[in-house]
Amino acid sequence: MTSKEYLKEMFSLQQKLNDETNGIGWENGYTKNNRMINWKRCIYMECAELIDSFSWKHWKNINHDTDWDNVTVEIVDIWHFVMSLLLEDYKTNNKGNLEKLIHDVLDVQGFEAFTKEPANNAMADPMELMNDIESIIHEMTGFESDLFDGLLKEYFALSRKCGVNLRILYRFYVAKNVLNQFRQDHGYKEGTYKKVWGGKEDNTVMLSLLQSDKVPTIDALYHKLEKIYTSLS
């Protein structure tokens, strides 16, 4: 797949997920249940969760290693909300269609590097990474946000430092998108969904289904999740 194809598939899946969970017209800032949507808040809250993957607390767990599996999960979660923010921005401000949006993302400084091999996260400096994450939080909490030279540029650089490039992002995004759809289909919004499966969080179960480099099909992954979830009932 080309970079353009990776992006088109992910943005299309995100549009579909948002349409189904929030209702058609969610780009206007409200869900079908009239709940206000704030994608910037979603992004900086996920960034806070990403920081918790590192041993940053000076008063406890000071010798804990970085949870790199969770770093990947949070990087992908942030991407869901970044795409949603961009889709909303282009729709409400009449900036163009999906093709135009993808073209603009491809032009972001640092995107080409993001398509290359990622950095070895074993060599990463956690303090530097946390500073990068906080830079994104700062970008999202200001009144004026630069979505391309600010948010996207910083996101792509951070992801690559964390060991995630475009191909890896796509692989895990597709899996997490399926999990998000599965959650919605099984009562997540209503509060009846069970997020812990046999002592493991569903994110962990989902990651265990991605042991090979091959990206499973959406239907196959959904079926596997259904089989495991049903067996716990």
CATH number at residue 8: 1.10.4010.10
pLDDT computed for residue 216 by the predictor: 66
Confidence of residue 148 (pLDDT cuts 50, 70, 90): very high
Whether residue 224 lies inside any domain: the answer is no
Considering the entire predicted model, what is its pTM? 0.87
Stretch 65-91: mean pLDDT: 95
How many CA atoms within 13 Å lie on the side-chain side of 172?
24
| pLDDT score of 212 more than 80 | no
Within-domain flag for 144:
yes
Element (H, E) at 200: strand 200-201
Cβ-based burial of 86 (10 A; exposed 0-12, middle 13-18, buried ≥19): buried
Residue 211, pLDDT above cutoff 70 = no
Task: Tell me whether residue 65 is in a domain.
Answer: yes
The count of structural domains within the chain is: 1
Domain contains 163? yes
Main-chain phi, psi angles of 157, to 5 degrees: -65, -45
**Containing structural domain, residue 116:** 3-169
pLDDT value, residue 40 = 97
Q: How confident is the model at residue 76 (pLDDT cuts 50, 70, 90)?
A: very high
Average pLDDT value for residue range 215-230: 86
Mean pLDDT over the full length of the chain: 92
The angle that helices 68-92 and 98-106 make with each other, rounded to 10 degrees, is: 130
Answer yes or no: is 45 within a domain: yes
The answer as to whether 38 is a domain residue is yes
In this structure, what token pair is assigned to residue 213? 């480099």
Nearest to 38 by CA among 81, 87, 99, 101: 81
How many H-runs (helices) and E-runs (strands) does the chain carry? Answer: 10, 2
Write the DSSP symbol of residue 147.
Answer: I
Dist CA 63 CA 66 (whole Å): 10
Residues 6+ apart with CB under 8 A from 55: 61, 62, 63, 64, 65, 66, 126
pLDDT band at 204 (very low <50, low <70, confident <90, very high): confident
The answer to whether residues 152 and 55 touch, using CB atoms and an 8 Å cutoff, is no
In a domain, 40, yes or no: yes
* pLDDT tens string 12-39: 999 999 999 999 999 999 999 999 999 9
Does residue 119 belong to any structural domain of this protein?
A: yes
